[in-house]
Amino acid sequence: MFNCRLDDYTLLKTSFESISKIVSEVQIQTDSDGIRLDALDKSHITFIHLEFCKDYFSDYVCTEPEKINVDTEQVLKVLKRGKRDDALYLSVDENNLIFDFNGDVNKHFKIRLIDMDYTAPSPPELVLSGKSVIPFKVLKDSMSDMGLFSEKVLISIKSDKTVFIGKGDMGDSKVEYNGLYGSDEDNIGESTYSLEKINELLRADKFSAEAILELGVNTPLTLTLQNEDETGTLSFLLAPRIESDDL
């Protein structure tokens, strides 16, 4: 049996605003510790990890592990039907993931479970030399600046700053965010990524006020979001763009 209550389901909703743009189907796994999902898009460019420990929920019961296969767009459509002050109750039966919104108006939805052969992917082992903690708003605004002229962005994490560079036929953009990361190295990480793919990740803009960026030289980018009490984590691993004409 699995059921739980969320007095504030903002983090779940904002997570699926991003996840639904990357993958069409996911397997949500539940056990006595909480819920999680791991997913990899069809092009093997973006890996997703979402986890909420049981302490994140107002009430949480899971007497035996469950594997809940769902369509991500259907989940997002239902989550958008609740009101800000509603409590959300989640449960599962043999064929459905069940959503009950309780507030001034009570709403009840069922999403049919998907029959799919699924093995949860695992992220690769990486050595990432550069790390930056940056306000989410600064990161999102910076990607908008990059998009003025370019379809890709060079991210460079140095000992005293994080630099974003976008170059295109009609112009160039550059943003520097100053900060110290505890390294004496001049250059501790630099890679180029698809701007479209990064913007998919940034749809989860209500998860955290800060984003943790980690990368190396021509390595995947790890973007991690955590809520204030660290009971919820949403992280992405994005493959770099390797091209002869990269920035």
**Helix boundaries (H) for 98-246:** 136-146, 195-201
In order along its 247 residues, the chain shows pLDDT tens digits of 999 999 999 999 999 999 999 999 999 999 999 999 999 999 999 999 999 999 999 999 999 999 999 999 999 999 999 999 999 999 999 999 999 999 999 999 999 999 988 787 888 888 888 899 999 999 999 999 999 999 999 999 988 899 999 999 999 999 999 865 545 566 688 999 999 999 999 999 999 999 999 999 999 999 999 999 999 999 999 999 876 445 5
pLDDT given at position 181 = 55
Model confidence, pTM: 0.93
What is residue 71's predicted lDDT score, i.e. its pLDDT?
97
Q: What pLDDT is attached to residue 244?
A: 47
Distances 129 to 78, 182, 197, 247 between C-alpha atoms, Å: 40, 11, 22, 20
With beta carbons less than 8 A apart as the criterion, state whether 74 and 28 touch: no
The pair of three-digit structure tokens given for residue 143, joined into one six-digit string: 């990607």
Q: Which pLDDT does position 112 carry in this prediction?
A: 98
DSSP calls for 173-212: EEEEEE---S---SEEEEEEEEHHHHHHHTT-TTS-SEEE
